[in-house]
Structure 1
């Protein structure tokens, strides 16, 4: 693993900090953190800490929204069969569960379809259109996919099937010949561009309610599913997403859907649910169904109306998640072995690794791990028929979607975002694509992109950590992209004698204190930092960057420092 650079953010203007502190009457450190996030007045602080639905934009501002609602109304009036279609990841399955459940309340002639990850692949499949045609479907609402499905939509039109595409991925130069809802498409005046796939679907539900004089509460019943999509898909947690996520998490804690509640029980999540729980416990279980089995199982769970049925499926997806972990670990080990034996890899700016036998369902996770290890733009591929298909992940600041686009003349298909993408390449073109991708990365990446770093918000000594401060920090939630959990720096600390121990294989648990102020101490966990054990056990002092969090264990909750990195004093 590469050594991380510590980047301390610039100190905010002291006058602004002082002014905000007078307005809010809170800790100086809280004011610094707020100003770093663009919150520099009482009015903005109120919107940040107490977001309301009045901050949500009118869904009719989205291009083609009126046409989408009219087409659904027409289908309902004519009793046409509607198919709700979505991708097999968390964003896709929560989108389908949300939209399907909403319309199923009052319209029976509706079903859903999730493509098989292995036989159909990502996006709208020809197989699904054939299925729709055979079952007399006249309208397909595609969620979290479809923005590049030009030929598939044309094929559907030949079969007299209409599409409403609700997507949030970057459009190509041409969009499908259908009703397209995507805030990123040209000439779309919707003010917020960073909705998740489920977010676009939710705007459709809002518009449908508004246009048909239905209470908005009918759509809000499913906002907990939307919060899960926002957290799992890692869209920026700012502006409208922050409002939607906050209300969704409130519902998840107050009155979760039967399916999500079954996951919470199975995952033994106690206390208030937060974005960390979504990212590390809820999301992986939903994803595991599509990775190991079939994602329709996840939708079946998320649309469950019977607790016993939900309990049974949640147990199944938890077993899928255990299998996924084992596969992930095995595949990562094999990928690292291939790269370590490649003498040319060390001098490259990118990583492309492939194997015929790897399980397609874990490639995205493995890609993340390889990227973490080498800290380069990374692609991991496996054999799928005559093609190689897989996932791409980038490093901070580098647009891997653009790099793939510049190398795309040898690709069969690709799509995604700045930091994550999926792609398919024919076996005979794999070597040439790998070479071309490396050349593009070498020509476009900057050296500082290849050095991992930790952005530190402010210095916060242990003696300033108080319960009131921590309670206010909790109100910065939901955390995520664009509103990251604050990272603090504390210098010259040491482990309290007798508290240091190894937990698991690679993690350190201890109590820490400042050398100059040993009376104040705090419990700490340092994941994957066992290499520092010998130095710390010998009494060496060290600097840390850390976040503050609640440690939930056996029904108890305690404050602890989550140490992100350690610098031992020599």
Structure 2
């Protein structure tokens, strides 16, 4: 692992902010690193409030979207709420449909089949709308590039409202309204909303039109927080406000579907991380293994008993997803070893019977093992389809673009992409992809990096520090859990490997013989136990955690890595 200690971004601002807030230089440094430089910015950071949300009508076309929906309701039109099959899409569909149904009955939902229709707006979905008398489609988390699909719908007398957050192309679809803060002509102040977040802005505008306040929309925020967590968008600005209040709903009064999903979680309070690892994979599993409709049914069900039955089905899908993911990862690793490809710059594996719904997860697993740009292929009709994953700071989309002569189609972004190609082009593509990456990746990008916020002494760790660090939550991109380095530590001598396979490391560490000591846990670090034995001095990188056991809460260090001092 590469350890990179972030520099103090602006020592003058740090000192000034510490004095204004009455906090330590350490806390001020963490704030300035996150772009919080003034007293007012700090107040907004520590006290997110509904008044920090922007007027939804600042978004381009919002007035047109609201007017068209109100016209549809007045005329008794049938409205179809359409969305992608992942967490962002299914939560957005649940949000929009349940809000509209709260005062208008002629609303139905449509999630495309991952395998039969693929991502985004589909011709099949538009045909379904025509066959069933829908004259307005609200598309969420997709549609920004669906120029031909929207034109097809228009010819059939079906209007489109698009709520998307992906980067538009040079041309926009000819929809009634295109809501996307990333539109070049959109002056909306916050650009980082997820698809469900854009949907929330639309219901915020609709509710204002109906004389409701933001307080009336609080019950929908569990869906928005789930989408924010799952879609890995920055936890800044509006996302921070929506995530904070959404987490409160999840913890205090979640909708029956989410309550059913977290029924057996033995934690007093769920964090954004828990949403990412507990709620999101289960919602995603529906679209991966069966159909995204199951997720929407769960999230829009208001009978608790029925919701628990839906959740039980989703648990089965998730268990199947885990088994497939584990099996395919094992087969892929064996393929790499058998073919002697451990020393390549890329990982490219293919087996025709691998399940298309989990190859993205497998690509992420292989990236963790070999830490290099990774493609996992499977058979999809008469073509091969792949999911791509990258390593930090390497643009896999650009690398694929350089190989586009071999590709039928591809799309995505810097760290994740999808592609299809002819089977006859697989070997040639694999060779070119290896050459492109070998010629463009720098040596440091081939080693995982731990980014460290600040150096700390154990004497700095006290109740006030922990209390303030808790107020940095919710954590996520651009506001990650603070990571510290402490030097010249020793273990009590009782350090040991723990866990079913003894893969994890448990220590009790001190910096001074007579000073404070802390329990420390390092997941996957058991192989480094030798660095801590016989009173050897070592440096550690960690975050500060709280461990709850039998009702007692204590400070615990979550180790990221250790090295000899």
TM-score category, normalised to shorter length: over 0.9
Alignment of 1:68 with 2:65, yes or no, is yes
**What are the superposed Cα offsets for residues 47-73 of structure 1, whole Å, 9 maximum, x if unpaired?**
110122222222222222222112211
Q: 2:198 aligns with which of 197, 200, 205?
A: 200
In structure 2, how many angstroms separate the alpha carbons of the residues matched to 1:211 and 1:151?
Answer: 32
**What are the superposed Cα offsets for residues 408-432 of structure 1, whole Å, 9 maximum, x if unpaired?**
4543433333322222333334344
In structure 1, how many angstroms separate the alpha carbons of the residues matched to 2:166 and 2:549?
Answer: 38
Paired residue for 1:417?
Answer: 413
Summarize the alignment of residues 306-317 of structure 1 with structure 2, pairs less than 5 Å apart.
Answer: 306-317=303-314
Alignment of 1:330 with 2:327, yes or no, is yes
Residue pair 1:293, 1:320 contacting (<8 A) in 2 also: yes
Paired residue for 1:464?
Answer: 460
Structure 1 pair 143/269, CA: closer, same or farther in 2 (3 Å)? Answer: farther
Paired residue for 1:383?
Answer: 379
- Unpaired segments of 5 or more residues in structure 1? none
Higher relative contact order (Cα pairs below 8 Å, separated by 6+ residues): 1
Q: Secondary structure at the match of 2:563?
A: strand
Paired residue for 1:530?
Answer: 526
Structure 1 pair 82/433, CA: closer, same or farther in 2 (3 Å)? Answer: farther
User: Which range moved further: 198-207 or 421-430?
Assistant: 421-430
Q: 1:152 aligns with which of 146, 149, 153?
A: 149
In structure 1, how many angstroms separate the alpha carbons of the residues matched to 2:387 and 2:308?
Answer: 32
What is the number of equivalent residue pairs in this alignment? 564
Alignment of 1:94 with 2:78, yes or no, is no
User: Which range moved further: 165-174 or 327-336?
Assistant: 165-174
User: Which range moved further: 371-380 or 91-100?
Assistant: 371-380
Q: 2:368 aligns with which of 369, 372, 384?
A: 372
Question: How much has 1:539 moved relative to structure 2?
Answer: 4.5
Q: 2:180 aligns with which of 182, 185, 188?
A: 182
- Unpaired segments of 5 or more residues in structure 2? none
Summarize the alignment of residues 48-447 of structure 1 with structure 2, pairs less than 5 Å apart.
Answer: 48-178=45-175, 179-266=177-264, 268-343=265-340, 346-348=343-345, 350-447=346-443
Residue pair 1:170, 1:417 contacting (<8 A) in 2 also: no
Question: How much has 1:19 moved relative to structure 2?
Answer: 2.7
Q: Secondary structure at the match of 2:199?
A: helix
In structure 2, how many angstroms separate the alpha carbons of the residues matched to 1:70 and 1:135?
Answer: 23
Question: How much has 1:15 moved relative to structure 2?
Answer: 4.2
In structure 2, how many angstroms separate the alpha carbons of the residues matched to 1:308 and 1:122?
Answer: 32
Residue pair 2:531, 2:538 contacting (<8 A) in 1 also: no
Structure 1 pair 405/144, CA: closer, same or farther in 2 (3 Å)? Answer: farther
In structure 2, how many angstroms separate the alpha carbons of the residues matched to 1:402 and 1:76?
Answer: 45
Question: How much has 1:44 moved relative to structure 2?
Answer: 1.5
**What are the superposed Cα offsets for residues 102-139 of structure 1, whole Å, 9 maximum, x if unpaired?**
00101111111112222222112222222222211111
In structure 1, how many angstroms separate the alpha carbons of the residues matched to 2:505 and 2:370?
Answer: 26
Summarize the alignment of residues 512-531 of structure 1 with structure 2, pairs less than 5 Å apart.
Answer: 512-531=508-527
Residue pair 2:539, 2:563 contacting (<8 A) in 1 also: yes
User: Which range moved further: 531-540 or 295-304?
Assistant: 531-540
Structure 1 pair 301/565, CA: closer, same or farther in 2 (3 Å)? Answer: same
Cα RMSD (Å): 2.2
In structure 2, how many angstroms separate the alpha carbons of the residues matched to 1:429 and 1:77?
Answer: 54
TM-score by length of 2: 0.94
Alignment of 1:491 with 2:481, yes or no, is no
